[in-house]
Amino acid sequence: MRNFKQLKIWQKGFEIAVNTFKLVEELPKEEKFGLSQQLTRAAVSIPSNIAEGSSRSSEKDYGRFIEISLGSSFEMETQLLIAEAVNYGNYEKRADLLKSLDEEQKMLISFGSKLKK
């Protein structure tokens, strides 16, 4: 079993999740069960799947969970772009999250590639 908390991809994913909760606090109240909920679920899914995958005994299984994390990051990126298009939330927080997601996606792709070798 691996210590997922030491992985930079998990740490970055955890940071993204925390910052997402800070962003959605500022979204309109009518979005509480719409975009806000979608954003937080996708954000929480990123580090959660990295953690769950670290418990798997095979690299193939672990890689599958890394792919799920990557998919959640793309889902979240789309939701942030929608929030941006309708001007929901703080501009700087959205921009920081988009930048962090880009970095996380690159790290997940690289990590997933290493697991496949």
For 1-11, the pLDDT digits (tens) are: 578 999 999 99
What distance in Å separates the CA atoms of residue 5 and residue 22, rounded to the nearest whole number? 22
Report the half-sphere exposure of 115 (CA within 13 A, side-chain side).
21
What distance in Å separates the CA atoms of residue 52 and residue 66, rounded to the nearest whole number? 9
Give me the CATH number covering residue 28.
Answer: 1.20.1440.60
Count up the domains in the chain and report the number.
Answer: 1
Dig out the tokens for 63 from the structure: 């890689």
What distance in Å separates the CA atoms of residue 108 and residue 15, rounded to the nearest whole number? 15
For 25-72, the pLDDT digits (tens) are: 989 888 877 999 999 999 999 999 999 999 988 889 999 999 999 999
Rg (CA), the chain: 14
pTM for the full predicted model = 0.94
For 84-107, the pLDDT digits (tens) are: 999 999 999 999 999 999 999 999
For residues 38 and 53, the answer to whether their CB atoms sit within 8 Å is no
